Copies of this chain bind each other. A is one copy, B any other.
Amino acid sequence: MKMKVPIGVSVRHAHLTKEHMEILFGVGYKLERFRELYQPVQYATEYTVDLVGPKHELKNVRVLGPENGFSQVEISKTDAFYLGVDPPVRASGDIAGSASIKLIGPQGEVVLQEGCIIANRHIHLHTSEAEKYNIKATDLVDIKLGTIKPTILRGVSVKIKDTYQMELHIDTDDANAALVKTGEYAELITINEWEIVEID
């Protein structure tokens, strides 16, 4: 039996503080669950913002709920080239010194001095799943995905909580490179470093 992991493709999106929500959408805004996400705590809202970079802008970028302790914008490298920004690859929440980005909403604008990142590839696991498969939060795992363009993602980080469900989170660049979509399955594998033969 293979260890199959459901794929969740993260399209560019924003997590916003209450303060930024009020500037962008007005003080009367109400976050409602527009669409449930596979991870139960977060959800897609009806709100969108426009991202403005030095080169171009990307319109109608989804705001996720609930309100966050800090504002964070997650985009792909393709988005970054288009906008003209240079965000680092980071785990969600690790935004110190990350890229600046401007957000425009119907009621106002916000310039984030930092908070724009390319989210790192990661797997969500429920605590019981992590125990079952003997995976620790400090592990890096390898993931096999795609059939027409078979691809292995190495060193994928793991997030374990008892509110999580097993899911691989990758961005649209990874998904489009391997030709996979949300709801399809990847496979957790291990490759021993010494079993990769370097060719002279």
Q: Known contacts being A148-B89, A149-B121, A179-B89, is A78 close to B195, with CB within 8 Å?
A: no
- Decide if A182 is an interface residue (CB 8 Å cutoff): no
With CB as the reference atom, state the residue of chain B lying closest to A195. B195
Q: How many copies does the complex hold?
A: 2
- Decide if A162 is an interface residue (CB 8 Å cutoff): no
What 1/0 flags go to A172-183 for Cβ under 8 Å of B? 111011110000
Q: What bracket does the count of chain A residues touching chain B fall in?
A: 35 or more
Q: Is the CB of B151 within 8 A of A153?
A: yes
From B81, B150, B187, B198, contact of A154 by CB (8 A): B150
Within 8 A of B (CB), among A2-48: 2-3
Per CB-CB distance, the 8 closest pairs between chain A and chain B, nearest first, are A177-B177, A77-B176, A195-B195, A152-B152, A150-B154, A173-B177, A3-B199, A173-B176
